[in-house]
Amino acid sequence: MILEQLDYLMQLEGKKSSFRWAANSILKLNRPISEIQKDIRKLKGVGPTTEKIIHEIINTGSSKLYEKLLIG
């Protein structure tokens, strides 16, 4: 899951991240995240930045932040 990888990449750079919390919340849904797009902010670990990234992943299949961190 991209959010888990984002969390790992952020930690490698010494930055804090709530992406793992968000990923765990999504995994516990037992349904596609696309079904609850309007209520994403209600999930544990999802703030405005994470919400924006989740919508980007849903719409494009990736995230600019993720791609940037992968490149280094």
Looking up residue 39, the CATH number of its domain turns out to be 1.10.150.110
pLDDT at 51 over 90: yes
Contacts of 15 (CB under 8 A, 6+ apart): none
Q: Alpha-carbon distance 71 to 59, whole Å?
A: 21
Q: What is the pTM of this model?
A: 0.88
pLDDT band of 1, cuts 50, 70, 90: confident
Q: How many domains does the chain have?
A: 1
DSSP alpha helices (H): ranges in the chain?
2-12, 19-27, 48-60, 64-71
| Cα 7–chain centre separation | 8
The predicted model gives 3-31 an average pLDDT of 94
Strand, coil or helix: 56: helix
pLDDT band of 61, cuts 50, 70, 90: very high
Range of the domain at 42: 2-71
